[in-house]
Amino acid sequence: MKRFLALDLGAESGRAILGTLADGRLELEELHRFLNEPVRLPAGLYWDTLRLFHEMRRGIHCAARERNLKLEGIGVDTWGVDFGLVGKDGALLDNPRHYRDARNDGQMERTFAVVAKSEIFAESGLQFMQINSLYQWHAMKQSGSPALEAADTLLFMPDLFNYFLTGVRRAEITIASTSQFYNPVRKCFAAGMLEKLGLRPGILPMIVLPGSFLGPALETDIPVYAVAGHDTASAVAAVPAKGKEDWCYISSGTWSLMGVEVREPIINNACQEFNFTNEIGVEGRVRLLKNIAGLWLLQECRRAWAEQGHSYDYGQMTEMAAAAKPFTSILDPDAFLSPGEMPAKIAEHCQSRGEKAPGTHGEYCRTILESLALRYRQVLENLEILLGRRLTRIHIVGGGSRNRLLNQFVADATGRPVIAGPTEATAAGNILVQAMGAGIIRNLEELREVVAASFPVTVSEPTPGANWDDAYARFARLRT
């Protein structure tokens, strides 16, 4: 019996999850959960980084001190793109900004004025989103950031927390590949492109692979491993797909990340036109995927309604959606990036595009879920064009896989069976990559066999009808 601790930080909450591996099966236990709430200051929107690290230390304490467990390893995964800057003295120079900070507005165009969009895509193979690390870094340069001038090392969020734990500065490859300044063909940072932008590639640390041993956690002898530090990479590693099945995945949570695994990056005009991304996964697999807004729209509606005195849990919101009339409204989920006043933004979005605004809270919830399913269908069709083959089934993992109504909508909209689970794919992937680093699991295939043996899944078979096709035609017009 071997025990590992996953420190899994999402955009809404963080958890310390204990993984017990025995006889080819993995059991998970949540030891500590904490909110991840951004902090708005006069200068912008920030992550509460030191409080998050305090909570992570609390999770380690729960396992090692309160439970007196022998841990074989600790691994950290987080959301992508954001980073912190460390000085020569080892101090954090500035609190990391939140990717939804307004500093990023219009920054892509300012960057393209220096380096052409086509060159950036050729160098990185990454989708264009204003939240990407490249634009955040360039915005700091253009504003004359004192922290950037003093920086000795740039560390992506899981690498920053690993540094806090071990004192070791490294860039784990899966999180580095979300930056838009990592070249997946040459397998290194795109130093030449960075220099054109006046950015110092010398502050980027050495790249390491998932499963790399970093060192013991400070004040303990517990090994810390660089896992697949991007939470999506950990989740994709734990997709319980078998053999050479022609499948795609959706890692469903605050964001929906939909894609496939390929052996080599696909960097061509069609990929750029569809705005897909080539990120790195476990064992060097390439995650050809698309970011979709995800359940963040529901989260924001829930927050807005609670402020108005209407408190719902997600189960209630799903029940309201199921009871609402189908296809009253359709929206583009990717049109919503900034937080706040989500119901009002949805109503304005629908009305400005000739759609009726949702009339009840249930209609808002159903509109979001139906529109996500329609967006998944569009992304699936684009994936099949890029690959030149049909994808026969969809695996949905992560917290969003609990939403059976959305799973059925996806099956109906796409005409493909949906296999949902595990819900804790990110934590499972984190822990099992640690086990790979410790030599307990041999490879990714064996890792997925453990996942398949350990967690139940549910299957939603498609029941397509003309209504979904009609709705998809409306959705396609909405996005043109």
Catalytically annotated residues: 231
The single-letter code of the amino acid at 16 is: A
CA distances from 178 to 135, 202, 430 (A): 12, 19, 17
Please, how many CA atoms are within 13 Å of residue 246, restricted to the half-sphere of its CB? 10
Please spell the DSSP secondary structure of 275-319, one letter per residue. Answer: T-EEEE-GGG-EEEEEEE-TTHHHHHHHHHHHHTT----HHHHHH
Beta strand 83-86 pairing with 153-156: antiparallel
Tokens of 60: 């380690």
SS3 459: strand
Q: What are phi and psi of 91, to 5 degrees?
A: -85, 150
Looking up tokens 């304490």 gives: 61
Closest CA to 72 of 20, 16, 17, 14: 20
Distance CA 268, CA 85 (A): 33
- Residues whose CB falls within 8 Å of the CB of residue 301, separated by 6 or more in sequence, listed in order: 317, 342, 343, 346, 361, 364, 365, 368
User: What's the burial of 144, exposed, middle or buried (CB within 10 Å: 0-12/13-18/19+)?
Assistant: exposed
Q: Which helix (H) or strand (E) holds 344?
A: helix 342-352
Distance CA 25, CA 22 (A): 6
User: What's the burial of 388, exposed, middle or buried (CB within 10 Å: 0-12/13-18/19+)?
Assistant: exposed
Strand partners, 238: none
In 95-195, which ranges are E strands? 153-156, 171-172, 182-183, 188-189
- Residues whose CB falls within 8 Å of the CB of residue 433, separated by 6 or more in sequence, listed in order: 75, 210, 211, 225, 227, 228, 234, 237, 282, 447
Please, how many CA atoms are within 13 Å of residue 378, restricted to the half-sphere of its CB? 25
User: What's the burial of 212, exposed, middle or buried (CB within 10 Å: 0-12/13-18/19+)?
Assistant: middle
What radius of gyration, in Å, describes the C-alpha atoms of the chain? 22
User: What's the burial of 421, exposed, middle or buried (CB within 10 Å: 0-12/13-18/19+)?
Assistant: buried
